[in-house]
Structure 1
Amino acid sequence: MKAELKALHDNETWELVSLPAGKRAIDSKWEYKVKFTPEGQVDKLKARLVARVRHQQCILTWVSKEEVYMKPPKGYTEAQEGQGLDEAFTVKDLGEMRYFLGIEVARNSQGTMLNQRKFILDILQSTGMEGCKPSRFPFPKNVKLSTDQGEILPDPETYRSIIGKLLYLNLTRPDISYSVQQLSQFMSEPRKPHLQAATHVIKYLAGTIDWGLYYSIPSSLTLTAFCDSDWGSCAFSARSLTGYCVFLGNSLISWKTKKQKTVSKSSTEAEYRCMSQTTSEIVWIHGILEDLGLHIPTPIDLFCDNKSANHLAHNPIFHERTKHLKVDCHYVRDHIQEGFLKVLHIKSFLQLADLMTKSLSEQHHNHLSFKLGLVPSAPT
């Protein structure tokens, strides 16, 4: 705590003044953290003084293809040519990043690998499953979870804690995206079958503990996306699932499994809503990359395995069965006409987003996981 206060004082973080009339002061608090090495050894004890303000959502972005530089902020007159931060601030050079927020970073001459091996070990230990027999796929086959079937868990916090950890693990494990989405629906009143399904996911992680996302260096700066839906798959709401994955070159940078907000009356409608949501994600990512000064060529390829939805994207003919889709249709259609987007058909067995919308066989699951960039170790 003394070291933290000294650093704040040395950096002139604040100045002491009397509270003016009519003003309110926010509170502050100390946060304590034990820092560990990737091997699980205690590295140091950390104290941090934080202001108690509204929660903010943080977004982590990993860039392994290019070096990133930052200009001095406007109004900062002390900046000089060369690296002057070390003289102005109390900065400790920790070398290349190896471990950050539970994510291990491994580099070689070919690229960067991200995994959460230690985090999985912590999950196994906290659930008492260190010596469990691994399962071969993340979600039990032919299992339809329900909100009203099975015994209610006497301690729901155990289930919620597991799902919270799985949600964080999804940062580097898109292969559990579908499973986590399914399980996170029952946080309010978890039941025994829900916990059994969550345990099955943990057993799968025990057998794939070293898996991680690999980002290769020789990769082009082109965006490609895959989208897929599972029509009416929710057993208690009949709503469909949206699944998509977006690549920068051959590196996976965005993925999601999410239940659609409304019931779709056909597989085409479900697929088109999925296509619209994926287009929104592409537009957002493209904007970020452009702000970073990267030129992303267009049109951007979007692969969909529903021929009717593809046809509707290029030829929006509205009638009684599709007129309620006008907003989604026009949104996608406008980006196609502008030359920003190109919707292409792909065969179902090549659809990478299948992994986000359904439970697959072991062979197909592993095949798509590999195509997404999940590998057991960094290539040499």
Structure 2
Amino acid sequence: MEMARSMLKAKILPNEFLGDVVACIVYILNRGPTKSVPDMTPYEAWCGEKPSVSHLRVFGSIAYSHIPNQLRGKLDDKSEKCIMVGYSENSKAYRLYKPVSRKIIISRDVIFSEDESWNWNDDVDEAKSPFHVNIDENKVAQELEQAEIQAVESSSSSTSSSTSDDEISPRRMRSIQEIYNTTNRINDDHFANFALFAGVDPVTFDEAIQDEKWKIAMDQEIDAIRRNETWELMELPTNKQALGVKWVYRTKLKSDGNVEKYKARLVVKGYKQEYGVDYEEIFAPVTRIETIRLILSLAAQNGWKVYQMDVKSAFLNGHLKEEIFVAQPLGYVQRGEEEKVYKLKKALYGLKQAPRAWYSRIDSFFLKTGFRRCPYEHALYVKEDKYGKFLIVSLYVDDLLFTGNDKFLCDDFKNSMKNEFEMSDMGLIHYFLGIEVNQNEGEIVISQQKYAHDLLKKFRMENASPCNTPMDANLKLCKDDIGEAVDPSLYRSLVGSLMYLTATRPDILFAVSMLSRFMTNPKRSHWEAGKRVLRYILGTINFGIYYKKVSESVMFGFCDSDWGGNVDDHKSTSGYVFSMGSGVFSWTSKKQSVVALSTTEAEYISLAAAGCQALWLRWMLKELKCIQKCETVLFCDNGSAIALSKNPVFHGRSKHIRIKYHFIRDLVKDGEVIVKYCKTQDQVADIFTKALKFDLFVKFRGKLGVAQV
């Protein structure tokens, strides 16, 4: 406050500029040294780069802002006298206050006179009362709600280095009395508006304790901890420190959007743990999404039923090796023993080692009960008896997916899990990791319709106009696209959300992969391309992958590559896809790590990547009792790459290719894969390497097994 007072008095500015001067002080302090962050500024600690201070100017000094030619006449002044009141948050420009018109403008074409200050005693009447702001209280909540999206959607004048906006008003502070004077009492009719907030989960314990359903949820969590003998109450040793705990509240929903249960979770503040003191190893494996799709594909092929179970409070079952103490949770402090703490015997949520402790516990249980851990997927377990009956279990943290060729084995597994842990038997799998699974006679369909609905709602695209392809076939995106920058956080949120949707929508994978290359500095063109993907999803929201029974369980794949398609570094994009005749279960679209000098080299690199994936899938199928008796066919549309995969021909075009890409030759020689030629118009993997026109896109989308659910 002393700094703000000094800066205002130095330039004889009225107190109404307090909001601006505080913002300016924060801006400067973030770019200066501080004791809290040694050897670097707060800006450097947050952004990872040293800040520039050459643009800093004296607050409240006179600034002459240049007026662009298109905004003035021939005889008008070329500049406008203003007061410098801060720095723009969205661009490398200054915030300038015009006392005459009482407006704020943003400009970076400015000349400063830092020794001067504004003379408020001039004859200009308008300058004597610098502030008169009318605030519409009824629009505040609505404006705050849409601020993030509008920040990206709003267009600005890019033809000028200076912009003016009537809606921008100076920052100001209002007195309590002024707030009371402009506030209306809420009558009974207005209470209906609070229904909008009925679905919001509580954030604090004080909020939750007012609602009976959350109190019941907290009681259930404490009861589970006590039944599991997770902790014991004791005095805190003198050389130890207790970690804090907090309550986290979540409403779990079903796939149709209805409430499944209210969950209160007691979470340790694990961010205060120190490596080597109260934790060491923290890694715990989970099943890959493509492994889950592979299991579902095999289940549809063989007519198996797929079941799902959930471990209640899974992390509470993990045994701890370290000595850890936590504070007593709010609402459940023992009377007369307020100074005591809990010593953990088992893990709690929030501890860094909790996932590893849980995985170690369930892994040892599976091995003890006759399961064999898959060496190629450490969260996959298979159990087989002497009669050829087997059970397959896939673990994803506390969610279990299991299937097999014998119902009695499945029932026995359910009972053994219920005897060892507190379990929720979900029956036939229907909603797993956000993926909707429908098991019908002879087929299994997976989709993400609910997630897609939520995604469109999140970005306000549910009422947009649908389009028939996710990306324009003629569009070329690059990092240096001309156009205004958009909010990087919002753009990353969009791309990240779309990435998860590709778990069941391979038809959008190339578009999403292309968008992910511009996360650092997204431009308007990138944002518009992302919106096109959302519009495509809107038109195909009920699409999913069909897995059906086919005549033979023979795996085959397609691999392809473009050549130098990336505008920025001229690297190529590889794509491959694998299937057993119905829906696809493994696919990728990835930019190559080297620049290919020819189409042959680009296709050869793609072949090598597809060959490695084919080898892993063959091993997985062997573990899942679906042994491939012949070579896996890889279809490629480049004859030279096929010849190169069989023999060291074309020496002049291949002598510089890195050794690791020649691994495909060993796979061909060992009989693991065989590369065959296919026509370009039949190359299904083409959908993963470039944006296609509508007819070809629809053709390949159908061959992927993607259709309307």
Asked if these proteins are the same fold (TM beyond 0.5), I'd say yes
CA separation of 1:75 and 1:204: change in aligned 2, threshold 3 A = closer
Q: Is 1:129 aligned to 2:461, yes or no?
A: yes
CA separation of 1:219 and 1:299: change in aligned 2, threshold 3 A = same
Q: 2 CA distance for matches of 1:85 and 1:31?
A: 27
TM-superposed CA distance for 1:328, in Å, is 4.3
CA separation of 1:31 and 1:365: change in aligned 2, threshold 3 A = farther
In the alignment, is the contact (CA less than 8 A) between 2:306 and 2:429 conserved in 1? no
Q: Is 1:168 aligned to 2:500, yes or no?
A: yes
Q: TM-score, normalised by structure 2?
A: 0.49
Matches within 5 A, 1:225-244: 225-244=557-576
| SS at 1:92 equivalent | strand
Matches within 5 A, 1:107-186: 107-186=439-518
My pick for the range that moved more, 286-295 or 338-347, is: 286-295
**Which residue of 1 is the match for residue 227 of structure 2?**
10
In the alignment, is the contact (CA less than 8 A) between 2:443 and 2:546 conserved in 1? yes
Q: Is 1:307 aligned to 2:600, yes or no?
A: no
Q: Deviations over 1:28-50 (max 9, x none)?
A: 77554321122222222223456
Q: Deviations over 1:126-184 (max 9, x none)?
A: 11111111001000231111111133434221111111110000000000011001100
TM-superposed CA distance for 1:264, in Å, is 0.3
1:43 to 256, 260, 283: 260
TM-superposed CA distance for 1:375, in Å, is 1.0
In the alignment, is the contact (CA less than 8 A) between 2:546 and 2:707 conserved in 1? yes
In the alignment, is the contact (CA less than 8 A) between 2:491 and 2:522 conserved in 1? yes
**Which residue of 2 is the match for residue 74 of structure 1?**
367
TM-superposed CA distance for 1:263, in Å, is 0.2
My pick for the range that moved more, 198-207 or 318-327, is: 318-327
Q: 2 CA distance for matches of 1:14 and 1:372?
A: 51
TM-superposed CA distance for 1:101, in Å, is 2.5
Q: 1 CA distance for matches of 2:267 and 2:606?
A: 40
**Which residue of 1 is the match for residue 429 of structure 2?**
97
Q: Is 1:192 aligned to 2:192, yes or no?
A: no
**Which residue of 2 is the match for residue 221 of structure 1?**
553
My pick for the range that moved more, 96-105 or 271-280, is: 96-105
Whichever residue aligns with residue 417 of structure 2, its letter is L
Whichever residue aligns with residue 223 of structure 2, its letter is K
**Which residue of 2 is the match for residue 371 of structure 1?**
703
Q: Deviations over 1:306-358 (max 9, x none)?
A: 01101111122262331122624531111111111110000000011011011
Q: Is 1:297 aligned to 2:514, yes or no?
A: no
Q: Deviations over 1:99-139 (max 9, x none)?
A: 22221111110211111111111111111111111001000
| SS at 2:579 equivalent | strand
| SS at 2:455 equivalent | helix
TM-superposed CA distance for 1:246, in Å, is 1.0
Q: 2 CA distance for matches of 1:191 and 1:56?
A: 37
Whichever residue aligns with residue 74 of structure 1, its letter is L
In the alignment, is the contact (CA less than 8 A) between 1:35 and 1:43 conserved in 2? yes
CA separation of 1:90 and 1:57: change in aligned 2, threshold 3 A = closer
**Which residue of 2 is the match for residue 362 of structure 1?**
694
| SS at 1:213 equivalent | strand
In the alignment, is the contact (CA less than 8 A) between 2:437 and 2:447 conserved in 1? yes
My pick for the range that moved more, 96-105 or 257-266, is: 96-105
**Which residue of 2 is the match for residue 270 of structure 1?**
602
Larger RCO (alpha carbons 8 Å, 6+ apart)? 1
Q: 2 CA distance for matches of 1:19 and 1:281?
A: 53
CA separation of 1:73 and 1:126: change in aligned 2, threshold 3 A = closer
**How many aligned residue pairs are there?**
375
Q: 1 CA distance for matches of 2:444 and 2:227?
A: 36
CA separation of 1:143 and 1:54: change in aligned 2, threshold 3 A = farther
Q: 1 CA distance for matches of 2:623 and 2:575?
A: 26
| SS at 2:252 equivalent | strand
Structure 2, gaps ≥5 residues long = 1-217, 271-280, 308-362, 371-408
In the alignment, is the contact (CA less than 8 A) between 1:110 and 1:218 conserved in 2? no
| SS at 1:262 equivalent | coil
In the alignment, is the contact (CA less than 8 A) between 1:318 and 1:326 conserved in 2? no
My pick for the range that moved more, 177-186 or 45-54, is: 45-54
In the alignment, is the contact (CA less than 8 A) between 1:316 and 1:329 conserved in 2? no
My pick for the range that moved more, 229-238 or 315-324, is: 315-324
Q: Deviations over 1:199-253 (max 9, x none)?
A: 0110000000000011113463322110000000000100000000011343311
In the alignment, is the contact (CA less than 8 A) between 2:572 and 2:591 conserved in 1? yes
Structure 1, gaps ≥5 residues long = none
In the alignment, is the contact (CA less than 8 A) between 1:225 and 1:245 conserved in 2? yes
Q: 1 CA distance for matches of 2:664 and 2:237?
A: 53
| SS at 2:367 equivalent | coil
Matches within 5 A, 1:48-67: 48=265, 52=270, 58=286, 59-60=288-289, 61-62=292-293, 63-64=295-296, 65=299, 66=304
Q: Is 1:87 aligned to 2:419, yes or no?
A: yes
Q: CA RMSD in A?
A: 3.0
User: How much identity, in percent, do the aligned residues show?
Assistant: 37
| SS at 2:454 equivalent | helix
Q: 2 CA distance for matches of 1:119 and 1:220?
A: 33
In the alignment, is the contact (CA less than 8 A) between 2:248 and 2:266 conserved in 1? yes
Q: 2 CA distance for matches of 1:282 and 1:29?
A: 46
